[in-house]
Amino acid sequence: MHLTPFQTVTIILAVAAGTQITRWLPFWLFPEKKDPPPAVLYLGRVLPAAVMGLLVVYCLKNVSWTAASHGLPELLSIAVVGLLHRWKGNVLLSIAGGTALYMLLVQAVFV
């Protein structure tokens, strides 16, 4: 598929405009001088935990609990993520530690 220069520029401008609007929209809707609505404050409180729960469920959806490893690498990695996060409170360290352990377990231990 070949695009004309006009089509290429139009696509680039549309993507740039869409990106900028999504960056500026929160500041336009909720200026610093005003308190955010209660619904936004509520969502800010509950959505992080809901997203984390959703990610855990998504990561465990294809685990075969009856197969040889019985989900042990996944459960150990989740435990390490939780422990690292409780110990250091660093999201990147927690995710990296759990991922590294999981890769080690599935590639070297539970082969």
Q: What's the pLDDT score for residue 73?
A: 93
The token pair at 43 is 């969502």
The number of CA neighbours under 13 Å toward the Cβ of 35 is 5
CB 71 within 8 A of CB 65: yes
What's the pLDDT at 67? 86
Q: What is the pLDDT of residues 5-29, one digit of tens each?
A: 999 999 999 999 999 999 999 899 9
pTM above 0.75, yes or no: no
Do 78 and 106 form a contact (C-beta atoms < 8 A)?
no
CA distances, 74 to each of 23, 55, 57, 100, 108 (Å): 36, 13, 11, 12, 14
The rounded distance, in Å, linking the Cα atoms of 63 and 78 is 13
> Which residues of the chain are modeled with pLDDT < 70?
none
CA distance linking residue 77 with residue 80, whole number of Å = 5
pLDDT at 68: 87
pLDDT at 42: 96
For residue 32, give both structure tokens. 């610093």
